[in-house]
Amino acid sequence: MRQSGAHPWMLVEDAQRIMATQVSIHVAVPPGEESAARVAIAAGMEWMCEVDRRLTRFSEDSDLSHLNRAAGRWQQVSPILFTVVRAALSASQASHGLFDPTLLPELERLGYDRDFSLLSRRAAPGEGPASAQAVRSGRCQEIDLDARKQRILLPAGVRLDLGGIAKGWAADQALKRFFGPFANVIVNVGGDLRLRGGPQPDATWAVGIRDPQAEDQSAPAPDRAIARFAEGGLATSGATKRWWYQGDERQHHLLDPRTGRPAQLWLPPGTGEDEMPEAGHLIATATALAPTAARAEVAAKVALLRGYPIALQAVEAAWNAPRRDRIPVRADEGVALLLILGNGAVVISHHMNAYLEGQGGGDLWA
């Protein structure tokens, strides 16, 4: 717990490893409300553990694993799983299929069939990469949801991985469920965060965006940019940490549904590897700001798939388009992007300052 010299507000916080990542919650309160903040944080962390138990694909007993094994027939599911699957299908529709949670079989074929901490970062010469197979993507539209009976029908052969939206969704829901009485909160689930307010009544939160080229070093990576804002979500996506070797070929977790293969991204130099000539122009990390953490998480992944400069052009076009109420909301609407390229350059969508100004009078240092 820390106290500012300027104002007698306290920062109550906790961090735990949940959902295979670091989860932290930070609540700024005036003196006398610390106990209530601790109770809310404890409840939020306990609920995050429940989300993990329901949604992990690395436990045979999770709701998601039960659903995946039931492909081809209706399966009754928990409210958490039903809601997240519905959110994932909406995100797929909003992104015109670039966000696709049905690629789990291909992820496993590439070697991501266990917790990431168990994957090898060493090349194993002699073990060739998995043979190429035709991938049928875009099967989200074949999934049926029965809201009245709270059940889901996956087509035969379809299995889901919800890792591309679950963290952001959990951050959004935790803020809504447990921190309604608090005006100054950050819920951070593995870098996908939802916030409101600031560390003091007259301040906004400052969120650092790390240098991807220093992520594999032993010391914490320095910040390449700092965004200050008081409302909304932020998510950063890339493959600077989540890569592994399958045989002598490097793989990573972000698959392009158009090919079924890992998207073309900048990766840290691999042992004994020659760098790709165009690597400097590839995206290393994409940071998206959006009204919710779930939308930011999806937008960051879509940006990586589109590449530079198309990702920036898409959100800028959506920002400049005539405002209208439209359901579903498209993945690019209300989104600002910050991309860090393989050559170290930081590029920002032209409306970033306007976006942050609308989110509580924020700004960006880069």
Kindly list the distances between the CA atom of residue 27 and the CA atoms of 11, 30, 43, 259, in Å, as whole numbers in the listed order: 6, 10, 13, 43
Q: Is the pLDDT of residue 280 over 90?
A: no
Kindly list the distances between the CA atom of residue 229 and the CA atoms of 75, 197, 204, 315, 341, in Å, as whole numbers in the listed order: 42, 8, 5, 19, 24
Write out pLDDT tens, residues 168-181.
999 999 999 999 99
Mean local confidence (pLDDT), 299-310:
96
Report the Cα–Cα distance between both ends of the chain, in Å, rounded: 29
CA atoms within 13 A on the CB side of 2: 9
Confidence of residue 111 (pLDDT cuts 50, 70, 90): low
pLDDT at site 253: 74
Write out pLDDT tens, residues 229-276.
999 999 999 887 776 577 667 877 788 899 888 888 888 876 444 455
Is 309 in a helix, a strand, or coil? coil
pLDDT at site 9: 92
Average pLDDT, the chain: 87
pLDDT at site 290: 97
149 φ, ψ to 5°? -95, 0
The DSSP annotation for 128-158 comes to PPPPP------GGGG-EEETTTTEEEPPTT-
Q: Report which of residues 85 and 138 the model is more confident about.
A: 85
Q: Is the pLDDT of residue 143 over 60?
A: yes
Measure the CA–CA gap between 231 and 185, rounded to whole angstroms.
Answer: 10
Q: Give me the count of residues in the chain.
A: 366
Kindly list the distances between the CA atom of residue 154 and the CA atoms of 90, 159, 200, 329, in Å, as whole numbers in the listed order: 16, 7, 47, 24
Beta bridge partners of 18: 21
pLDDT at site 274: 45
Measure the CA–CA gap between 56 and 161, rounded to whole angstroms.
Answer: 8
CB 99 within 8 A of CB 258: no
Q: What angle do CA 51, 336, 351 make, to 5 degrees?
A: 160
Kindly list the distances between the CA atom of residue 31 and the CA atoms of 8, 37, 175, 359, in Å, as whole numbers in the listed order: 7, 11, 21, 27
Spatial neighbors of 218 by CB under 8 A, at least 6 apart, are none
Q: Is the pLDDT of residue 186 over 70?
A: yes
Measure the CA–CA gap between 222 and 244, rounded to whole angstroms.
Answer: 24
Measure the CA–CA gap between 81 and 67, rounded to whole angstroms.
Answer: 9
Q: Is the pLDDT of residue 224 over 50?
A: yes
Longest dimension (CA), the chain: 64
Confidence of residue 132 (pLDDT cuts 50, 70, 90): very low
Q: Is the pLDDT of residue 364 over 50?
A: yes
Neighbours of 119 (CB within 10 A): 17
Neighbours of 104 (CB within 10 A): 20
pLDDT at site 314: 96
**Residue for token pair 């799983």:** 81
Q: Report which of residues 8 and 182 the model is more confident about.
A: 182
Write out pLDDT tens, residues 22-54.
999 999 999 999 999 999 999 999 999 999 999
Mean local confidence (pLDDT), 55-73:
96
Q: Closest Cα partner for 340 from 184, 186, 236? A: 236
pLDDT at site 110: 76
Domains in the chain and their CATH numbers? 1-57+165-182 (no CATH), 63-164 (1.10.3980.10), 204-366 (3.10.520.10)
Write out pLDDT tens, residues 310-320.
999 999 999 99
pLDDT at site 1: 41
Mean local confidence (pLDDT), 61-65:
97
CB 225 within 8 A of CB 346: yes
Q: Where are the beta strands (DSSP E) in 50-91?
A: 74-76
CB 283 within 8 A of CB 307: yes
Mean local confidence (pLDDT), 344-350:
96
Measure the CA–CA gap between 285 and 192, rounded to whole angstroms.
Answer: 13
State CA 176 to chain mean position distance.
Answer: 18
pLDDT at site 126: 47
Confidence of residue 3 (pLDDT cuts 50, 70, 90): very low
pLDDT at site 196: 97
Confidence of residue 123 (pLDDT cuts 50, 70, 90): low
pLDDT at site 343: 92
- The letter for the amino acid at 234 is L
Q: Closest Cα partner for 164 from 75, 63, 92? A: 92
pTM for this prediction? 0.90
- The letter for the amino acid at 281 is H
